Amino acid sequence: MATNLSNSQLLSLGLILVHSRVRHITLGKAGDSMDLAPMPFPGIDAENRIDGAYYDVLNTASVTDVLKPYGSTGAWTGLPPFPSPKSVPIAVEGSSAYVSLLEQAGFPATRTADANPSLRLTVVFPNGQPVDGLVVARALGVGNELVTPGAVSEVTVYAP
């Protein structure tokens, strides 16, 4: 959870809510989680950097819809808006099943090489375009892909 509340404000809020009825609201799923490699990442935190860890990158429109009955009027991740899938060309080095999955999600995907079964599913995005990598990783939805910058001209998926 990202917030601009101070620790004392959070503690006060927690004490106020001690006897409140708590509801479990699921905002994401396992497939929203991705392993982001260490990299500069404007908008993600005060240092504009990710140090490499598993992150859940949620769809702000979905979060707003789920929380609307509780008064939510919007959500913000600190990231630029995700691009439209049709504007993110993808090269897939791996199984044609990944090409089909990405095409069904609206991406222009092309298979460029055979699968390498020893590889971990990896999404490499051109330097300076991390949001393109995130939108592709979310579409894959397996929750274990590595998302990292690299020397590629378009988002490239290396798949087992």
The reported pLDDT for the residue numbered 54 is 80
Task: In whole angstroms, give the CA distance from residue 145 to residue 138.
Answer: 9
In the chain, where the domains are located = 25-158
Which two tokens mark 109? 């995907």
CB atoms within 10 A of CB 8: 8
CB atoms within 10 A of CB 41: 21
Bridge partners (DSSP) listed for residue 92: 111, 157
Q: Are 127 and 149 in contact (CB under 8 A)?
A: yes
Q: Are 85 and 113 in contact (CB under 8 A)?
A: no
CB atoms within 10 A of CB 139: 22
pTM: 0.76
Going residue by residue through the chain, which has 160 residues, state the pLDDT in tens, using 9 for 90 and above: 667 788 898 888 888 888 887 777 877 777 778 888 888 877 777 888 888 778 787 778 888 888 898 888 888 877 778 899 999 999 999 889 999 999 999 999 999 988 888 888 999 999 888 889 989 998 998 777 899 999 999 999 999 8
